[in-house]
Chain A
Amino acid sequence: MSEPQSPANARAGDELIEETPFTATAAANAPSAQAAGGRSFLPKSTLLRHLLILVLSAVGAVILLEVTDPFTNSQLASLTYYAIAAGGLTVLTGMNGQISLGHGALMAVGAYTTALFLGVDGEPLPLPVIFLVAVAISTIVGALVGVAAARLHGPYLAGATLALAVGLPGLALYFRDTLGGEQGLRVRAPEPPASFTNFIDLVSGNPASGTKWLAYVGVICLLITFFLLANLVRSRIGRTWRAVRDQEVAAELAGIDLGAWRVLAFVVSAACAGLAGAVLALVVRLAAPSGFTLVLSLALLTAIVIGGLGSLLGALLGSALLVFLPPFVTNLGGDFGLDQTKAAQLAPFVYGVVLIVAMIFAPAGIVGTIRLRWMTARAKRAVAGRAAHGG
């Protein structure tokens, strides 16, 4: 290696260039701590800042849910479970560079657990407890998968998790008596508690329907998940994940156990998928194999890719697309004379096209591309400034 052999090598030496990603890679868009710290109107402390955002988001969510109609409420409820799962996947793929097509299957674990615990004879356990159990079980499954996945990368990991996505629903068919086979398990959604009815009455006076209750449950889960994830990615753990992703060799030389950190990322994202599955079971009121096909996993991948891998806000935006795009394109297809079942396939078609186009033209996603533009412009100004000073 006598000379700069590749652009990457040439860049590494130049501190200016290092913060200027000219080549956008799929997994190169994790937020940097400095970038976020620069906003002066928010508290300096990360935790305080996140708490403030949490409170503002909660208020915003209440307003949003109370000014929209019941149908939109149920759409927003769907948004929450997609976003919870996509948030977890962001940690895995965006921060840690691992891909998973198995998160649909992990959601199924959470959903079936919830369905089973809500379906017991007599009084079921309180909802938060059931959710915790669902998270715990999918975390265990995720840990098992993660231990295997930690040694894999790229296409190997994609193939292995693909096998998981295709294979795991088979269990529901095999244990037909417990898991309901092809038909799946109906989910008895619990009634909204009195405190919730009082709260809604106080806030807006709207009827506190079951749909609204489930939307609130989803929003609460989403806010808690994102609050925890946001703090996690800004912590030492998050920095280590990014080091494992970007500087594998250097991280290993620095004594970081790559495998353990990859397993941890998988476990965290599996926990999110489990919670997402639990919320999904409630909102959809059904846990069936047809709800957890490969297309679900690919939809989640689309959400995080379009939002820009590594950005929680991006994951949220991407999830919104998963909720609001299908009815839109299905109607569009209907207008062009497609029947209902065919028009319903337009959404996955768009997911696929989006994945391809995004990877070819904007591998950093929406949020990432904007951030990239901004950073490139800043770097250009810096170069121009340097040149002006005769450097």
Chain B
Amino acid sequence: MTDAHGSTSLSIGADAGAGARTAPGTALLEVEGLTSAYGPVRALDGVTLSAEAGRITAVLGANGAGKTTLLRTISGLVRPVAGRVTLGGEDITRAPVEAMVGKGMAHVPEGRGVIAELTVDENLRVGSLFRGKVEKSEFDRVYDTFPRIAERRDNPAHTLSGGERQMLVIGRALLAQPRILLLDEPSLGLAPRIVAQIFGLLRKLVDSEGLSVLLVEQNARSALSVADVGVVLNLGRVVVTDQARTLMADEGLRHAYLGF
């Protein structure tokens, strides 16, 4: 995970197509008035936000704020009651879940989403299935980036540690050549050192490869330290959207919503 392993060599934007880059700073993923409900309970209540290309956008909030539901609604796992989601200008609100990755959105669900019964290598291969034939060199690049999972490529994924699983799922998501990566609580249950490593890697991918990330985190301090923009969610509504460093500096807001 250090420079010696050459994470910069991971060229996710090598091919055209789904991986086509949008100019940094322009809105890539836009969410307008998104409302989701479980029965009569509203988990999201008119959420509007946008994730810009080449930036890390962190959605923060306490337990039950609606963070996970937000990601699940964006990727179609939960059907919204109202609102709109567009990716690069295309309306994807009603698109089937299976089609999202083809449109350039990779969603790493809460709890990492490794398929425990498959081997590490098979997990990676599942991630690239929708693209048809994928060059072996692309797998090699993922293994070069994450040497720790390369050592265990033929082991079942359930033998991996939490940090290794996170590396596996990020590597797998990158094989899909996404325009935007949706990450649900990547820090959950990981040692601070590993969290720092993973966030550091994300930063590097965004800066050097032009990846865009929409990150959902309860660990607001770590998330804000790596993010460009922060969105604070409370009880299904957006409380504030601002530059990450501005949010860091706002002590009142931190105490009220972010818990540090």
Contacts and interface: CB of A to CB of B under 8 A. Distances in A.
B217 to A, nearest CB: 10
Interface in B31-64: 38-41, 43, 63-64
A99 B142 CA distance: 49
A17 B40 contact: yes
B65 interface: yes
B43 A3 contact: yes
A3 B67 contact: yes
Interface residues of A, number: 14
A3 B40 CA distance: 16
A195 interface: no
Given A2-B185, A2-B218, A10 B39 contact: yes
B63 A10 contact: no
B163 interface: no
B41 A14 contact: yes
Which of B38, B41, B64, B66 has the most chain A CB atoms inside 10 A of its CB?
B38
Contacts of A17: 39-41
A383 B40 CA distance: 9
A10 B37 CA distance: 9
A180 B65 CA distance: 70
B128 interface: no
B67 A4 contact: no
A3 B71 CA distance: 12
Contacts of B38: 4, 6-7, 9-11
B67 A2 contact: yes
Contact of B39 (A2, A3, A5, A22): A22
B68 interface: yes
A374 to B, nearest CB: 18
Contacts of A9: 38
A6 B69 CA distance: 10
Nearest to A2: B63
B251 to A, nearest CB: 24
Given A2-B185, A4-B38, A10 B43 contact: yes
Contacts of A4: 38, 41, 43, 64, 69
A24 to B, nearest CB: 14
B41 A3 contact: no
Interface in B1-54: 38-41, 43
Contacts of A5: 68
Given A2-B185, A2-B218, A11 B67 contact: no
A7 B69 contact: no
B40 A2 contact: no
Nearest to A379: B40
B69 to A, nearest CB: 6
Contact of A10 (B41, B67, B110): B41
Nearest to B42: A10
Contacts of B39: 7, 10-11, 14, 17, 22
Contacts of A7: 38-39
Interface in B99-126: 110
A390 to B, nearest CB: 16
A17 B39 CA distance: 8
A4 B65 CA distance: 9
Given A2-B185, A2-B218, A11 B41 contact: yes
B62 to A, nearest CB: 8
Most buried by B among A2, A7, A383: A2
Nearest to A20: B39
Contacts of B41: 4, 10-11, 13-14, 17
Nearest to B37: A10
B156 to A, nearest CB: 25
Contacts of A22: 39
A10 B236 CA distance: 13
A13 B110 CA distance: 22
B244 to A, nearest CB: 21
Q: Which of A3, A6, A22 has the most CB of B within 10 A?
A: A3
B110 to A, nearest CB: 8
A211 to B, nearest CB: 54
Contacts of B63: 2-3
Contacts of A2: 63-64, 67-68, 110, 185, 218
Contacts of B66: 3
A179 B218 CA distance: 70
Contacts of B218: 2
A9 to B, nearest CB: 8
Nearest to A1: B63
Interface in A148-199: none
Nearest to B63: A2
A5 B68 CA distance: 8
Contacts of A13: 41
A65 B242 CA distance: 81
B42 to A, nearest CB: 10
Contacts of B69: 3-4
Interface string B76-111: 000000000000000000000000000000000010
A10 B39 CA distance: 8
Nearest to A7: B38
A219 to B, nearest CB: 45
A12 to B, nearest CB: 10
Contacts of A3: 43, 63-69
5 contacts: A2-B68, A3-B65, A4-B43, A4-B69, A10-B41
**Which 7 A-B residue pairs are closest in the complex by CB-CB distance?**
A10-B38, A10-B41, A3-B68, A7-B38, A2-B63, A3-B64, A4-B38
Given A4-B38, A22-B39, 8 more contacts: A2-B67, A3-B65, A3-B69, A4-B43, A7-B38, A11-B39, A11-B41, A14-B39
Interface of A: 2-7, 9-11, 13-14, 17, 22, 383
